[in-house]
Amino acid sequence: MSAHRVPRIVLAAPGSNAGKTSIATGLIAALTDRGLTVSPHKVGPDYIDPGYHGLAAGRPGRNLDNWLVGEDRIVPLFLHGARTPRPADVALVEGVMGLFDGAAHASVAPGYGSTAQVAAQLRAPVVLVVDAASQARSVAALVHGFATFDPAVRLGGVVLNRVGSDRHEAILREALGEAGVPVLGAVRRIEELHTPSRHLGLVPAAERSADAVRTVRALGAVVGASVDLDAVLRLARSAPDLAGDPWDPAAEVDPIEGRPVVAVAGGPAFTFGYAETTELLAAAGAQVATVDPLRDDALPDGTRALVVGGGFPEVHAGALSANVGLRTAIAALAAAGAPVAAECAGLLYLSRELDGEPMCGVLDTATAMHRTLNLGYRAAVALTDSVLAPAGTRVRGHEFHRTTATPGAGTTPAWQWSARGPEGFVQGSGEFGGTVHASYLHLNWAGSPSMAARFVTAAARVPEVAGAHR
């Protein structure tokens, strides 16, 4: 185990909707504009915020989630992200919910998975983003409480957000000066920088394209002018050396021979995925190729397996359905016994129909939008042998959708995580069990790296599928 010098801060807030993502993205963009290499990270399972971070930094935004990957992997994954694809000058970690809010699950203690826990694991100073729109001197009492609640958390400063006027800012700064907490910046209310939302939160950066780039640039300009970047960097550089070894996907799996092509769905309809998943696939010996179901009418040449992660296919159902060539190729790939792994949006795409629009028809289930939000961490057990895991394997994942599948499970289901019964679909037959695995459960394969090895090994033993790709 070695010690690593990585300047770093954790950006947190008293609660949700304080503007953390806007401030974090703006800080990343402003520091990048200074010529610094910034490593962006996000506490929790969220996919959308890291997309904006990545756009601002020019490198993948990465998640740090104790529930999904285990406490022992947080520092290694952080160090891996901070040096990939090249060493960063500074790392910024955006928190989740309120600073001390953790996983709401009976199996863990209060505060587990919280921003405070990750900040303590990383020995990183915390900058608190406070929505000051409806308060004046009371801000000092609020910040004092957060600064003293947990001695393991070092509150290094405050960024005031949605400040109304010069007079308002002066009152806030005076109050916080009396409380002894440095104010690192004050950002005014600027409605035109609002990032649009819909049924599952912010619209992903990949879907907004040029608009997202403009928003990130504007956030960088505003935050760069409103926050003392030198003070932020001094605080980040005050973090002590961090002991640990960077996570290495090549140390988690043994590469197989054959270099099978594993296609991974991407593009605007499938934006949810963790960078470590493709890194593990590559380390296990796969040639990873991206396929965009909105634009590509065939699978990449030589495809032997397919991974379809999360996203918003419900927003693009008509266009996905109109791409008959790719839907037909995917159905042929699955029918030929090639490994197929689908999470949430992937399940919708493999279904018979989505909101009445024909999909790939790999799964005999109909999917549709629903008013109920299914959200939370899940502790699941595999019910059926598959190309991902043997029956009995226990995993930790998360659920995040406003859709339903009817039926919600096949005759050989994927998982069970509650008394409601089995969930998901495993079908087909191969050396490792079912060759198609589809479920609403999101997983970070860094928490279960054997999945990548099992999946790529199965892919290497699949012959070329005629008609499944160009």
Do residue 84 and residue 221 come from a single domain?
yes
Task: Determine, yes or no, domain membership for 467.
Answer: no
DSSP assignment letter at 386: B
Quick one: 18 exposed, middle or buried, by C-beta within 10 A (0-12, 13-18, 19+)? Answer: buried
Domain final position from 222, 244, 266: 244
Domain final position from 244, 268, 301: 244
Do residue 354 and residue 387 come from a single domain?
yes
Predicted local confidence at residue 370, as pLDDT = 87
Task: Determine, yes or no, domain membership for 441.
Answer: yes
In degrees, to the nearest 5, what angle opens at C-alpha 433 toward C-alphas 429 and 434?
A: 60
Distance CA(143)–CA(181), nearest Å, equals: 8
Name the residue with tokens 């029918």: 335
Distance CA(27)–CA(134), nearest Å, equals: 24
Do residue 296 and residue 261 come from a single domain?
yes
CB 339 within 8 A of CB 346: no
Do residue 232 and residue 261 come from a single domain?
no
Residues classed as catalytic: 344
467: alpha, beta or left? (left if phi > 0; alpha if psi -120 to 50): left
Do residue 240 and residue 291 come from a single domain?
no
Distance CA(81)–CA(242), nearest Å, equals: 14
Tell me the C-alpha to C-alpha distance, in Å, between residue 160 and each of 131, 173, 226, 402: 6, 9, 10, 34
Task: Determine, yes or no, domain membership for 54.
Answer: yes
DSSP assignment letter at 195: P
Q: 56: which strand partners?
A: none
Nearest to 316 by CA among 341, 291, 289, 292: 292
Do residue 255 and residue 220 come from a single domain?
no
Do residue 165 and residue 270 come from a single domain?
no
CATH number of the domain residue 347 falls in: 3.40.50.880
Do residue 240 and residue 257 come from a single domain?
no
Task: Determine, yes or no, domain membership for 429.
Answer: yes
Distance CA(234)–CA(211), nearest Å, equals: 32
285: alpha, beta or left? (left if phi > 0; alpha if psi -120 to 50): left
CB 468 within 8 A of CB 303: yes
Distance CA(42)–CA(36), nearest Å, equals: 19
Task: Determine, yes or no, domain membership for 466.
Answer: no
What is the CB-side half-sphere exposure of residue 461 using CA atoms within 13 A? 12
Q: What is the DSSP string of 128-176?
A: EEEE-TT-STHHHHHHHHHHHS-TTS-EEEEEEEEE--HHHHHHHHHHH
Task: Determine, yes or no, domain membership for 263.
Answer: yes
Tell me the C-alpha to C-alpha distance, in Å, between residue 85 and each of 61, 123, 198, 327, 391: 12, 23, 32, 34, 36
Domain final position from 244, 261, 286: 244
Do residue 213 and residue 265 come from a single domain?
no
CATH number of the domain residue 99 falls in: 3.40.50.300
**How would you write the pLDDT of the chain (470 residues) with one tens digit per residue?**
789 999 999 999 999 989 999 999 999 999 999 999 999 999 999 998 999 999 999 999 999 999 999 999 999 999 999 999 999 999 999 999 999 999 878 788 889 999 999 999 999 999 999 999 999 999 999 999 999 999 999 999 999 999 999 999 999 999 999 889 999 999 998 765 555 543 444 555 655 567 778 889 999 999 999 999 999 999 999 999 999 999 999 999 999 999 999 999 999 999 999 999 999 999 999 999 999 999 999 999 999 999 999 998 888 999 999 999 999 999 999 999 999 999 999 999 999 999 999 999 999 999 998 878 888 999 999 999 999 999 999 999 999 888 999 999 999 999 999 877 899 999 999 999 999 999 999 999 999 999 999 999 999 998 776 556 65
Predicted local confidence at residue 198, as pLDDT = 38
Predicted local confidence at residue 231, as pLDDT = 98
Do residue 382 and residue 347 come from a single domain?
yes
Residues 6 or more apart whose CB falls under 8 angstroms from that of 414 comprise 382, 383, 384, 386, 422, 423, 424, 425, 426, 437, 438, 439, 441
Predicted local confidence at residue 104, as pLDDT = 78
CB 445 within 8 A of CB 329: no
Do residue 223 and residue 160 come from a single domain?
yes
Cis peptide before 358 (omega within 30 of 0): no
Task: Determine, yes or no, domain membership for 470.
Answer: no
Name the residue with tokens 């806030």: 172
Name the residue with tokens 């934006």: 271
Distance CA(182)–CA(184), nearest Å, equals: 6
Nearest to 402 by CA among 198, 202, 200: 200
pTM as predicted = 0.94
Do residue 67 and residue 185 come from a single domain?
yes
Q: 43: which strand partners?
A: 64
Q: What is the DSSP string of 280-291?
A: HHHHTT-EEEEE
Q: How many CB atoms lie within 10 A of CB 94?
A: 29
Task: Determine, yes or no, domain membership for 469.
Answer: no
End-to-end CA distance of the chain: 47
Residues 6 or more apart whose CB falls under 8 angstroms from that of 322 comprise none
- Counting the structural domains of the chain, the total is 2
Q: 243: which strand partners?
A: 3
Identify the helix (H) or strand (E) that includes residue 38: strand 38-43
The two structure tokens encoding residue 187: 């950002």
Instruction: Provide the b/e sequence for 433-446 (b: ≥16 CB within 10 Å).
Output: bbbbbbbbbbbbbb
What HEC string does 199-261 produce? Answer: CCEECCHHHHCHHHHHHHHHHHHHHHHHECHHHHHHHHHCCCCEEECCCCHHHHCCCCCCCCE
Predicted local confidence at residue 340, as pLDDT = 98
Task: Print the domain residue range for 186.
Answer: 2-244
Distance CA(465)–CA(306), nearest Å, equals: 12
Distance CA(264)–CA(299), nearest Å, equals: 10
